[in-house]
Structure 1
Amino acid sequence: MSTGANMSHRTKGAKGFHHWWAQRLTAIALIPLSLWFAASVIMHAGADRAALAAWLSSPLSSVLMILTLGATLYHGVLGLGEVIVDYVHCAAARIAALIFIRLFGAALAVAGIFAVLRLAFTG
């Protein structure tokens, strides 16, 4: 028979596993995405706005850029969350910092996706 304490422990473990798994998946996803991004930056070094807009108007380029942006930000938020949980000992400061990094990461994601789509569709 399970007690409330056991269920709470299982829930925390499930969340911990999900966090660990998400961080590993984003790290694996970022390997090819980072290589693609680095190659793209090298290929378009010195290009003007029109050339970048033409490149991002390709569905493949814009989708890969959005995936790179999303995976990078999500991976960063997960990693910073781990640092905060491990090293910020005041509960109120820890909660505030976790809320801040999640909101900031979400705001950066929205702004980045908007910028990519705007460049892709309007040039």
Structure 2
Amino acid sequence: MSLNTPISKVRGLGSAKSGTHHWWMQKIAAVALIPLTIWFVASIVQMTQADYFTVKAWLSSPVSAILMLVYIVTGVYHLRLGLQEIVEDYVPNKGPKTFYSFAILFGCTIIAVACIFSVLKIAL
């Protein structure tokens, strides 16, 4: 027996009234990471014997730089969603939950900005 009303089942809303948006975003990010990770690993494997200037030239190409930035942003977004889900599911008190949520957002933002800056510094 479900505690949801029939209309909430149709709308996809749970008890928190937020629906499945968070779940869908995490799954979409995960699916997007599959080809990006294959591209990244294949690129790194091809450059195992490359020197610094070869890697810099590779990352300076627009396609590589854009794919790397998309990979970073998608990966950090997926990380944030996963960590947020852990906090929401396993931290019972509101005070620590709020602190951890802000810490996750701040930490992921710092990671994303540092990675984006690094890619742009090499690529430009």
Normalised to the residue count of structure 2, the TM-score between the two structures is: 0.84
Higher relative contact order (CA 8 A, sep 6+): 1
1:90/1:10 CA distance change after superposition, 3 Å: closer
Q: Which residue of 2 aligns with 1:70?
A: 73
Residue 27 in structure 1 maps to residue 27 in structure 2: no
Q: SS in structure 2 opposite 1:73?
A: helix
Unaligned runs of 5+ in 1: 1-5
Q: How does 1:104-115 map to 2 (within 5 A)?
A: 104-115=107-118
Q: How does 1:76-91 map to 2 (within 5 A)?
A: 76-91=79-94
Q: Which residue of 1 aligns with 2:5?
A: none
1:16/1:100 CA distance change after superposition, 3 Å: farther
> Aligned-pair distance for 1:11?
9.8
- Whole-angstrom distance in 1 between the partners of 2:19 and 2:41: 32
Q: Deviations over 1:21-57 (max 9, x none)?
A: 1101101100100100110111111322211110011
Q: How does 1:1-123 map to 2 (within 5 A)?
A: 12-13=16-17, 15-121=18-124
RMSD: 1.9
> Aligned-pair distance for 1:12?
4.0
- Whole-angstrom distance in 2 between the partners of 1:33 and 1:17: 25
1:34/1:11 CA distance change after superposition, 3 Å: same
Unaligned runs of 5+ in 2: 1-7
